[in-house]
């Protein structure tokens, strides 16, 4: 295929396609251009940011200390444990049927599990 | 102490990327240092949960995008017009005529750059973000998808749509620019 074989319309279409392609390439090149921001970054930027981290930690620790810690849930657990103990003792005084033995065993297991959990928790909190 | 030193190192290694991405996403150097600080402080909070360099980078991109989005919202609320990248005095050195090149050519190139930057800011947040992460930051579809928490197919769609919109808008502005002098004459 020779250049002189192309009609005027074909040449125009070819030119249009090439122009569009060049336009796209320019936009892509512009998007791919990495802006140089070396001058915008302060020399001590990294040190400044790192220095802010402990300061923030102290601030949050102070905020935490300002909030009074309550142990309502823990008190409720101890009270529940006492009630469970009474129920276990009460169940052991009943008849020796399979049902009462099962209930007693269940209550005892529950009591033991809660007692161990609470003891561990109190020990960790010191 | 060792943690602080390594964090400082993480900041130093990634600060250039964070600054340039924030700059392209927000379209301005205004508050860029504060925004970059916010990015790294957010990263610090999340750092103990990360393993491996690539994951930190992906998360860092996610934070940068979130911080940039907050900045867009803040600007919208205060109804402040965006300061064009090309209008800032700090960019003047880029617009000065290079001794080896034709002045007219350089001016035309600077105008084209301005148009691309301005029209980029006119795109939707997600389209702009995908374009910047793909072209400027050379991230893969998968990395962008991970950073934006979106499916890869959606990223491809946004990229294609964003490029098309940007091309059409820049072309429209260029056409208007050519027509404007004729209108003055009439």
What does the pLDDT average to over B34-54?
Answer: 81
Which of B7, B33, B116 faces A53 most closely, judged by CB atoms? Answer: B7
A87 within a domain of the structure (yes/no): yes
Question: Are A114 and A71 part of one and the same domain?
Answer: yes
- B143-170 b/e (C-beta count within 10 Å ≥ 16 → b): bbbbbbeeeeeebeebbebbbebbbebb
Structure tokens at A57: 């930690």
Residues of B in contact with A23 (CB under 8 A): 167, 170-171
pLDDT digits (tens, 9 = 90+) for A95-105: 778 887 888 88
Contact A49/B at CB under 8 A: yes
Structure tokens at B110: 């600077």
Residue with the bigger pLDDT between B42 and B88: it is B42
Residues of A in contact with B113 (CB under 8 A): 30, 33
Residues whose CB is less than 8 angstroms from the CB of residue A22 and which lie 6 or more positions away in sequence, other chains included? none
Closest residue in chain B to residue A35, using alpha carbons only? B20
Q: In the prediction, which pLDDT does B90 show? A: 44
What does the pLDDT average to over A77-84?
Answer: 86
DSSP character string of A3-50:
GGGS-HHHHHHHHHHHHHHHHHHHHHHHHHPPP--GGGS-TTHHHHHH
Helix, strand, or coil (residue B123): coil
Going by pLDDT thresholds of 50, 70 and 90, the confidence category of residue B50 is low
Q: Taking CA B36 as the corner, what is the angle to CA B38 and CA B148, rounded to the nearest 5 degrees? A: 80
Question: Are A44 and A73 part of one and the same domain?
Answer: no
Q: Out of A17-21, B50-54, B67-71, B111-115, pick the least confident.
A: B50-54
Q: With 80 as the cut, is the pLDDT of residue B11 above it?
A: yes
Contact call for residues A94 and A100 (beta carbons, < 8 A):
yes
Q: With 80 as the cut, is the pLDDT of residue B123 above it?
A: yes
Question: Are A96 and A72 part of one and the same domain?
Answer: yes
Closest residue in chain A to residue B29, using alpha carbons only? A40
What is the percent of chain A with per-residue pLDDT over 70, rounded to a whole number? 80
Q: In the prediction, which pLDDT does B51 show? A: 62
Among residues B180, B179, B24, B181, the alpha carbon closest in space to that of B116 is found at B24
Q: In the prediction, which pLDDT does B185 show? A: 38
Contact call for residues A118 and A77 (beta carbons, < 8 A):
yes
Residue with the bigger pLDDT between A125 and B90: it is A125
Which of B15, B90, B167 faces A45 most closely, judged by CB atoms? Answer: B15
What span, in angstroms and rounded, lies between the C-alpha atoms of B113 and B97?
14
Please tell me the total count of domains within chain A.
2
pLDDT digits (tens, 9 = 90+) for B54-76: 578 888 999 999 999 898 888 87
A3 within a domain of the structure (yes/no): no
Could you tell me how many residues make up chain B?
A: 186
What span, in angstroms and rounded, lies between the C-alpha atoms of A50 and B6?
9
Give backbone dihedrals phi and psi of B83, rounded to 5 degrees, phi first: -85, 120
Which of B23, B40, B167 faces A35 most closely, judged by CB atoms? Answer: B23
Q: In the prediction, which pLDDT does B153 show? A: 95
Question: Are A117 and A78 part of one and the same domain?
Answer: yes
Structure tokens at A35: 């802006």
Q: In the prediction, which pLDDT does B72 show? A: 85
Q: With 80 as the cut, is the pLDDT of residue B26 above it?
A: yes
Q: In the prediction, which pLDDT does B144 show? A: 93
What span, in angstroms and rounded, lies between the C-alpha atoms of B88 and B42?
29
Q: What domain range is A117 assigned to?
A: 67-125
Closest residue in chain A to residue B113, using alpha carbons only? A30
Going by pLDDT thresholds of 50, 70 and 90, the confidence category of residue B183 is very low
Question: Are A39 and A74 part of one and the same domain?
Answer: no
What does the pLDDT average to over B27-39?
Answer: 89
What's the alpha-carbon Rg for chain A, to the nearest Å?
40
What is the percent of chain B with per-residue pLDDT over 70, rounded to a whole number? 76
Contact call for residues B136 and B102 (beta carbons, < 8 A):
no
Question: Are A48 and A74 part of one and the same domain?
Answer: no
Q: With 70 as the cut, is the pLDDT of residue A68 above it?
A: no
What does the pLDDT average to over A54-78?
Answer: 57
Structure tokens at B18: 């964070």
Q: In the prediction, which pLDDT does B169 show? A: 92
Helix, strand, or coil (residue A69): coil
Could you tell me how many residues make up chain A?
A: 126
Question: Are A73 and A104 part of one and the same domain?
Answer: yes
Q: In the prediction, which pLDDT does B127 show? A: 94
A28 within a domain of the structure (yes/no): yes
pTM of the model: 0.62
């Amino acid at each position: 295929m020779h250049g002189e074989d192309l009609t005027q319309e074909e040449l125009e279409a070819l030119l249009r396609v090439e122009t569009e392609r060049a336009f796209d390439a320019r936009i892509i090149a512009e998007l791919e251009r990495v802006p140089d921001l070396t001058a915008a970054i302060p020399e001590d930027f990294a040190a400044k940011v790192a220095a802010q981290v402990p300061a923030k930690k102290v601030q949050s620790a102070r905020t935490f200390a300002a909030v009074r810690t309550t142990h309502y849930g823990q008190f409720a657990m101890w009270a529940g444990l006492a009630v469970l103990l009474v129920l276990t003792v009460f169940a052991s005084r009943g008849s020796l049927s399979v049902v009462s033995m099962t209930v007693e065993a269940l209550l005892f297991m529950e009591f033991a599990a809660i007692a161990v959990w609470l003891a561990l928790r109190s020990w960790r909190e010191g | 102490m060792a943690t602080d030193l390594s964090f400082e190192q993480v900041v130093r290694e990634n600060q250039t990327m964070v600054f340039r991405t924030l700059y392209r996403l927000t379209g301005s150097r205004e508050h860029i240092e504060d925004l970059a600080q916010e990015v790294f402080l957010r990263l610090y909070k999340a750092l103990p949960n990360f393993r491996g360099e690539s994951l930190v980078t992906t998360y860092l991109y996610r934070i940068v995008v979130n911080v940039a989005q907050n900045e867009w919202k803040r600007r919208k609320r205060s109804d402040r017009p965006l300061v064009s990248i090309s209008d800032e005095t700090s960019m003047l050195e880029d617009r000065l005529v290079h001794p080896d090149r034709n002045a007219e050519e350089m001016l035309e190139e600077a105008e084209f750059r301005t148009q691309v930057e301005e029209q980029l800011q006119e795109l939707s947040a997600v389209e702009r973000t995908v374009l910047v992460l793909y072209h400027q930051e050379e991230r893969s579809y998968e990395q962008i998808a991970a950073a934006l928490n979106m499916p890869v197919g959606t990223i491809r769609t946004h990229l294609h749509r964003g490029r098309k919109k940007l091309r059409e808008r820049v072309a429209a502005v260029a056409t208007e620019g050519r027509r404007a002098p004729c209108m003055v004459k009439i």
